[in-house]
Amino acid sequence: MSIHLHINHNDMRNRNLALILNHLHQNSPISRAELSSQLGINKASISTIIRELIDRGIVIENGVKSGSQDVGHPSIDLQINPDAGRIIGISIQSTQVTAVITDVSPNILWRKTIDLPKIGGMEMGLLTVKSLIQEVCNLARSQDLPILGLGLSIPGMVDIETNRLLAAYELGWQNFDLNSLMEGNEDINFYVGNEAHMSGLGERYFGSLEKSACTLYINWGMDISGAILINENVVPGIMGLAGEVGHISLDPTGELCQCGNRGCWNTLVNFKSLLKYMQPNKEAEKITRQAGCNEASLDNMCINSFVELVRLGDKPTLAALEKSAHWLGIGLASLINLFNPDLIILGGPLSQTFDFVYPTVQAEINQRALTWQSGSCVVQPSRHGQDGCLIGAVATVIWNIFNNPEEPIRKTFRRKIKK
C-alpha cells in the first residue's frame, strides 16, 4: 500500500516562504545563491519569492556581498527589513502590565508600564489591560507601517485554541475570554499565551545562539513554570498547558499550593517560599521589611530588592537562596531524566541570582540525574532577563507569521506601487 501526499502549489509556496523567511532571520546577511544552495530551492523560485518580499517591504538588499568575486554579477546580501512593520508586545505581571512597540529585529522603540489596580479584582485589572492595549494599538497605527500583530503574555494557563484564560493563580484571575481585550482592534493578529511558553520561544528565536534540539525553559519568579521546546517549537500539549512543572508533587504533606494540591515544586522554590526560609531569623525579618516585602504586596519590585540583598552578600538572604537552590536542582534533575534536554534556560525575575544558585543547582543535577543525561545538558541564564516575557510575546507574533506566512503576508503587507 502506498500513501500519496497531495501538496498543491499554494502549500509549496507557503512552505518555501517559511523556509526562506526563517533562514533569513537566522543567517542574514545572505545572498540569493546561498539561500538556494543552503535550502535546496532552485534559483528561479528563490528569485521570484525574494522579488515579492522586497516588493512588499519585508526583505531589503544590503549591499554587495564582501568577497564577491563575480564582477559582472555581484552577489547582493539580503536581510529581513527591521522596518517591515511594527509588533506590539504586552506582558501582564503580578502587580503591573507593560506594553512595548518593537521593530522586527526586535528593538524596543516604545514602552509603558502601569500598575494593576489593587482593588476591583479581575474585572478592574482587565479593564486596565484593555485600556493599555487600546493606547498602544492607536500609537502603533499612527506610525504608518504594517502592524504584524499583538502578543500577550500572561502568568497563567491559557487554552490556546480559544484564547480563554483558565486560571492565573498569581493574579487571582480565572475563566475569562481574552479575545474581548481586542474589541475594536480585531483586525490586528492576536496571539496570547502562557509567559513561560512565550519567554521560552523568545529565548530560542531571539536569544541563545547555541543549537539546541531539546530545550527546557524555566520561568522562576513569583511562581515557577516551564516550557519544553523541540528545536524552536514549543510543545503545547493538547490545550497549550504542557510545561506546568511548578505543580509536580515533591512533598505529599507539604505546604498548600494555589492549585489546591500539597507540596508542589512551586511551594518549595517560589518567591513566597524564599521569604519563608528567611523568617526564623530576626535579622532576615528586618531586612525583608526594609525591602518592602510582605505577603500582601509581593511583586517583582520585592524580587528586585531581594536580589539586591543577594548582591550585597547579606547572609540570611544567601542562606534562604541556598535552600531554594537545592530544591531548584532537585526538580531540574527529575525534569532532565524525563525530557533528556541539551539546554536548560533559567529565566524570570529570580534568575538574576543565577551566579549564586548555579553551583548548588548543578551539584544536585550531577548527583540526581542520570549520568548520561546530566553530562549532556547545559544550564544557562536567560539572555533577555527582565524583558523575557515581552520579547517572548513579540517573538510569538514573528514566529507565527514566518512559519505560516502566505496569508499574513497578503493580508498585512501591501505591495509598493511602482512608478
Interacting residue ranges for Zn ion, rule: CB under 5 A: 247, 257, 259, 261, 264
Are 413 and 85 in contact, with CB atoms under 8 Å apart? yes
We find the least distance from the C-beta atom of residue 251 to Zn ion, in angstroms, to be 11
CB of 234 to Zn ion, least distance (A): 21
Nearer to Zn ion, 122 or 248 (CB): 248
Kindly tell me which of 182 and 264 has the beta carbon lying closer to Zn ion: 264
Q: Which three cell numbers stand for residue 115?
A: 500598575
Classify residue 387 by its DSSP letter. G
The three three-digit cell numbers of residue 339, written as one number:
525530557
Alpha helices in 142-255 (DSSP H): 195-205
Beta carbon nearer to Zn ion, 241 or 259: 259
Min. distance of Cβ 114 from Zn ion in angstroms? 29
Q: Name the burial class of residue 28, with classes exposed (0-12), middle (13-18) and buried (19+) by CB atoms within 10 angstroms of its CB.
A: middle
Q: Please, what is the minimum distance in Å from the beta carbon of residue 248 to Zn ion?
A: 8
C-alpha to C-alpha distances, 57 to 34, 63, 78, 281, nearest whole angstrom: 21, 16, 12, 61
Burial group, residue 128, by CB count within 10 angstroms (0-12, 13-18, 19+) = middle
Closest contact distance (angstroms) between CB of 341 and Zn ion is: 22
Q: Which is nearer to Zn ion, 270 or 382 (CB)?
A: 270
Q: Shortest Cβ distance from residue 197 to Zn ion (Å)?
A: 18
Closer by beta carbon to Zn ion, 263 or else 381 = 263
Are 381 and 172 spatial neighbours (Cβ–Cβ below 8 Å)? Answer: no
Q: In 3D, which of 117, 113, 137 has the Cα closest to residue 127?
A: 117
Which residue lies nearer to Zn ion by CB, 34 or 255? 255
